[in-house]
Chains A and B, each alone.
Chain A
Amino acid sequence: MALDFCGISKGLSDYARQLRKRLALRKEGQGFDYTGDNWRRRVEKIVDRIHPEKMHLRLNEIIDETLSARTLRFIREDAALPPFRAGQYVNLYIEIDGVITSRAYSISSPPGLAYIDLTIRRKQNGFVSNYLLDRAGIGDRFVSSGPAGQFYYEPLLNSNELVFIAGGSGITPFMSILLDFKSRNWPVKTHLIYGSRVLDDVIFKDKLNELSWDNTQLNYALALTEASEDFPVTGFISADLIRAHVGDLSDKTFMICGPNAMYDFVLKQLEHLGVPQHKIKRELYGPPEHVETEAGWPENVKATDCFEIEVVGQKKITASAGEPLLNSLERNGLKVRSLCRSGECSYCRAKLVSGRVFMPAHTGLREADRNFGYIHTCVAYPLSNMKIKL
């Protein structure tokens, strides 16, 4: 008992001493005046300099590249352009004939300029690309996302010998990367193989020749599937072609960008050549064009089948099995946030309350989202009538 009493008195005197210290401290304050203007929207102000959520752009120049492709040059009106990593894309939000939608385009100009270039190629039935090529005019205003994506050269892990394989308009991120290497004098050796149909279709033909002309760091080859007067047929980007052009393949990092059909072909060639999977980086290229040919697509559903989709608390729409759910939602006037439109970024995540969807195997869905019934609507294709919650 007596001992306890000592404990209490010792404790209390400690306590009193410390309490005085605390009260003194509170009186003084420590100078963090959170009412000050520097604390106003502090997070947003700092983050927006590097990762703006939105950018207000003006189309400043249109440059013809080939018969089917143009470069649209944009300047940013609401603030300075943020820094980005060569190879990244922006998602361009756009309203066409009453439909609010968006498409992601790689930036083809290098970082550090007063503008960004988006090089766009005509696509059969391309809702947005054809609008941009035919109807967009100088002075038009657009809203885009900030630069995004992970398709860039990463000095932390990539070896300093790279192999770039591009198909069609898949050349655009590589253009940005190559120009960036040049201006920064990166000590990186690059082998570029660019596959296209005919010579007239080759985007940046002259620029690439110029870049590789007196540059021992860039080893460039064109692969065409149709002959023309000036260029022999080389065929698809086959294992033989890759080996002949690149030589020793060990310890090289492969970066691939092109249509989904090209991925299927080129990835098989690389596998054949014994290039390990983890040395290959592929850019997203939108949802699959013919989803019914993807592995795992059920036999009893046709791409043309239509289903009824109930969006909880909003409305009921009809959607076809062969089209990404996000596109159907947008066409029916529903607002959905989106960014990559390739299944990776989860901006368009929604809860599947009931019904079934198909999502390609490489969709970047989180494990917990899969288990709790969430989908990425940009690569989700309806397989039955369903109910979702946005």
Chain B
Amino acid sequence: MKNRYDAVVIGAGLGGLSAATLLARRGFSTLLLEQHNIPGGYATSFVRGRYEFEVALHELSDIGSDSRPGVLGKYLKYLGVRDKVEFVQIPELYRSVFPDLDMTLPRGREAYVDTLCKAFPHEEKGIRRFMKRVFDLAREVDDFQKVQSGKIGDVISVAVSAPFKLRAIPRYLFSTWEEVMARDISDIKVRAVISQYWGYFGLPPSKISFFLFALALASYIAYGPAHIRGRSQALSNAFIERFEELGGEVCFNCGVSKINSNSGKVTGVVTDDGREYLADIVVSNASPIATCRDMLGVDNIPPAYFKKMRSNEVAASSFNVYLGLACSPEAIGATSHEVFVNENFNYDSHYALFDKVAAPYQMVVTTYNTIMPEISPPGTSMLVLTTLCSSKGWEALEPEKYVDAKNMVAGAMMEKAEKVLPGLRREVEVVEVATPLTNMRYARTTGGSIYGFSNTPFNHTVLRLPAMGPLKGLFFVGAWVQPGGGYSPAMLSGQMAGEFISRIYGKKKGRS
């Protein structure tokens, strides 16, 4: 192994994988270092008995179809990763279950809006108006992004039309989802159903950025959700294979303890076992907090950067119960991929429990067999119960009480899941429970966060920390920075960093 590279990427999460592969494709000699023994970060799987569980992915956005690819689909094609992975389309968005309401929301704008209007005729006007806001914003952002193509025609057309078209962006940039929703919809049931995806972004509608939520929801509705044949691990492994084909070098079981810097410039990294690699470009998939605090050292970072981070809170973590059932999905009535189970219509009541170790009011029950029957052996099913919480309650717990606490929450969730899947508990063959501390253990993520910094109206998409770090040559990727948390944004963050680096360091050998 050499000890000098153009770029070193710390962490093989989706952001790191994406950045490393793009840099390798642009001709940078790149070294990818990962502390765990497998690539993916949260985009992995694990084996228990005869089951292999998907760790994190519920629904992947922005893939689209071959004929109409989404932004992520196009990017993966460009990298040469797209053809190594098979994406499986999920036939509907989600099923939403409340104490006295049970509905399934379909893909496609018209179908989605019509379904809502049919169920809530008294709110039809408001629903249509609100969904128009959502899609107007998405279209505007889409138009605006044409500038990035660099084609002179696109730039001119955007520049000329912008003053007349750009209305939604400034209007909604700093709004919460609930603020905007309140203008059009008053029925809390409609609000709860439309906002059901909030769990995918880590904050309740009263706190989440409208801008972010609207773009994401519009993409899910327009392009439809997808999953990956062979689970997330297949995507992560495909990245590694492509990265190595492009000449990149990867090292697992290889954590980074230090980033070296000299007069405001990064110069290389030191691994946990003391190996040193020199590079002018260091891309960190670790949180900016851990990167600056632990790898670089507070003294080497301009204080202004810490101030910038100060207004950002670490986002929610997750609590997962992975279940292998010794029965077919039909036997317990599991027919939808993604079922949100809510105890009430008040999302804030669930958010109020985030910092506690307690049974949640909302969770999502995912049955992977419905879209990928082969994911577990014949006659069995593979389910995951997911809810959001912060790491605070779990961090404060006495170590001796950890197992009992996680079983208490998991047991309560399994009981609640029986409401939609009667007989579930009788059939459980394998169970594994993952808390925020589990996220911290395997991915080394600050606070076990699954979305980096919180997506508040003041810290979302373009308002997040940029890829460019506080030192020359230092870049960030992953959920913590632009464009944000989630599978697709994490991969797109790698694209943003890679594009910046290509522009600054000017190497565009363009390997194919």
Closest to B170 in A: A15
Closest to B294 in A: A41
Counting CB contacts under 8 A, is A232 at the interface? no
Counting CB contacts under 8 A, is A313 at the interface? yes
Among B109-117, B407-415, B471-479, the stretch in contact with A: B407-415
Report the separation of the CA atoms of residues A365 and B47 in the bound assembly, to the nearest whole angstrom. Answer: 7
Residues of B within 8 A of A46 (CB): 391, 395, 437, 440
Chain B nearest CB from A294 CB (Å) reads: 18
Contact assessment for A15 and B431 in the assembled complex, using a CB-CB cutoff below 8 Å: no
Chain B nearest CB from A253 CB (Å) reads: 10
**1/0 per residue A239-278: CB within 8 Å of B?**
0000000000000000000000000000000000000111
**1/0 per residue B394-420: CB within 8 Å of A?**
010001101100010011001000000
Residue from A25, A34, A40, A278 whose CB has the most chain B CB atoms within 10 Å: A34
Counting CB contacts under 8 A, is A135 at the interface? no
Closest to A16 in B: B170
Closest to B172 in A: A14
Chain B nearest CB from A209 CB (Å) reads: 30
Residue from A21, A276, A364 whose CB has the most chain B CB atoms within 10 Å: A364
Contact assessment for A11 and B166 in the assembled complex, using a CB-CB cutoff below 8 Å: yes
Contact assessment for A156 and B440 in the assembled complex, using a CB-CB cutoff below 8 Å: no
Report the separation of the CA atoms of residues A176 and B308 in the bound assembly, to the nearest whole angstrom. Answer: 51
Report the separation of the CA atoms of residues A39 and B306 in the bound assembly, to the nearest whole angstrom. Answer: 12
Residues of A within 8 A of B290 (CB): 42-43
**1/0 per residue B208-244: CB within 8 Å of A?**
0000000000000000000000110110111011000
Chain B nearest CB from A363 CB (Å) reads: 9
A22-B458, A30-B313, A41-B294 given as contacts; is B407 within 8 A of A349 (CB)?
Answer: no
Among B9-17, B73-81, B191-199, B441-449, the stretch in contact with A: B441-449
A18-B457, A22-B458 given as contacts; is B175 within 8 A of A367 (CB)?
Answer: no
Contact assessment for A366 and B45 in the assembled complex, using a CB-CB cutoff below 8 Å: yes
Contact assessment for A43 and B231 in the assembled complex, using a CB-CB cutoff below 8 Å: no
Counting CB contacts under 8 A, is B353 at the interface? no
Contact assessment for B411 and A25 in the assembled complex, using a CB-CB cutoff below 8 Å: no
Chain A nearest CB from B214 CB (Å) reads: 15
Counting CB contacts under 8 A, is B307 at the interface? yes
Contact assessment for B429 and A278 in the assembled complex, using a CB-CB cutoff below 8 Å: yes
Closest to B374 in A: A367
Closest to A53 in B: B441
How many of chain B's residues touch chain A, expressed as a range? 35 or more
Closest to B457 in A: A18
A15-B170, A43-B444 given as contacts; is B399 within 8 A of A367 (CB)?
Answer: no
Counting CB contacts under 8 A, is A150 at the interface? yes
Counting CB contacts under 8 A, is B335 at the interface? no
Counting CB contacts under 8 A, is B326 at the interface? yes
Contact assessment for A157 and B431 in the assembled complex, using a CB-CB cutoff below 8 Å: yes
Report the separation of the CA atoms of residues A34 and B38 in the bound assembly, to the nearest whole angstrom. Answer: 29
User: Which residues of chain A in 79-100 are interfacial with respect to chain B, using CB atoms and an 8 Å cutoff?
Assistant: 82-83, 85
User: Which residues of chain A in 6-55 are interfacial with respect to chain B, using CB atoms and an 8 Å cutoff?
Assistant: 7-8, 10-12, 14-15, 18-19, 21-22, 25-26, 28-35, 39-44, 46-47, 49-51
Counting CB contacts under 8 A, is B428 at the interface? yes
User: Which residues of chain B in 216-275 are interfacial with respect to chain A, using CB atoms and an 8 Å cutoff?
Assistant: 230-231, 233-234, 236-238, 240-241, 252-253
Contact assessment for B171 and A156 in the assembled complex, using a CB-CB cutoff below 8 Å: no
A34-B293, A156-B411 given as contacts; is B45 within 8 A of A15 (CB)?
Answer: no
Residues of B within 8 A of A364 (CB): 47
A34-B310, A43-B446 given as contacts; is B163 within 8 A of A8 (CB)?
Answer: yes
Please pick, from B173, B306, B310, B326, the residue contacting A276 in the complex, using a CB distance under 8 A: B326
Contact assessment for A34 and B292 in the assembled complex, using a CB-CB cutoff below 8 Å: yes
Residue from A22, A43, A82, A346 whose CB has the most chain B CB atoms within 10 Å: A43
A11-B166, A154-B431, A368-B45 given as contacts; is B437 within 8 A of A50 (CB)?
Answer: yes
Counting CB contacts under 8 A, is B154 at the interface? no
Counting CB contacts under 8 A, is B298 at the interface? yes
Counting CB contacts under 8 A, is B48 at the interface? yes
Counting CB contacts under 8 A, is A185 at the interface? no
Contact assessment for B311 and A30 in the assembled complex, using a CB-CB cutoff below 8 Å: yes
Counting CB contacts under 8 A, is A187 at the interface? no
Contact assessment for B167 and A372 in the assembled complex, using a CB-CB cutoff below 8 Å: no
Contact assessment for B167 and A85 in the assembled complex, using a CB-CB cutoff below 8 Å: no
Please pick, from A1, A41, A337, the residue contacting B37 in the complex, using a CB distance under 8 A: A337
Contact assessment for B47 and A85 in the assembled complex, using a CB-CB cutoff below 8 Å: no
Residues of B within 8 A of A83 (CB): 399-400, 402-403
A11-B171, A278-B429, A369-B233 given as contacts; is B37 within 8 A of A346 (CB)?
Answer: yes
Chain A nearest CB from B373 CB (Å) reads: 14
Contact assessment for B234 and A367 in the assembled complex, using a CB-CB cutoff below 8 Å: yes
Counting CB contacts under 8 A, is A299 at the interface? no
Residues of A within 8 A of B1 (CB): 313
Residues of B within 8 A of A349 (CB): 37-38, 252
Contact assessment for B289 and A156 in the assembled complex, using a CB-CB cutoff below 8 Å: no
Residue from A14, A15, A156, A349 whose CB has the most chain B CB atoms within 10 Å: A156
Residues of A within 8 A of B309 (CB): 32, 34
User: Which residues of chain B in 164-178 are interfacial with respect to chain A, using CB atoms and an 8 Å cutoff?
Assistant: 164, 166-171, 173-175
Residues of A within 8 A of B445 (CB): 43
Contact assessment for A40 and B47 in the assembled complex, using a CB-CB cutoff below 8 Å: no
Closest to A312 in B: B1
Counting CB contacts under 8 A, is A155 at the interface? yes
Chain A nearest CB from B22 CB (Å) reads: 20
Chain B nearest CB from A276 CB (Å) reads: 7
New A-B pairs, 8, CB < 8 Å, besides A34-B310, A40-B293: A21-B458, A32-B311, A150-B48, A278-B326, A346-B38, A348-B37, A368-B234, A368-B237
**Those 5 A-B pairs whose CB atoms lie nearest each other, nearest first:** A18-B174, A278-B429, A278-B326, A15-B170, A368-B233
Please name 26 pairs of A and B residues whose Cβ atoms are closer than 8 Å in the assembled complex, sorted by A.
A18-B457, A21-B174, A25-B311, A25-B458, A26-B311, A30-B311, A32-B311, A32-B312, A40-B293, A40-B294, A43-B440, A44-B444, A50-B399, A82-B399, A83-B402, A157-B428, A278-B429, A281-B49, A344-B47, A346-B38, A346-B47, A366-B46, A368-B231, A368-B236, A372-B234, A372-B240
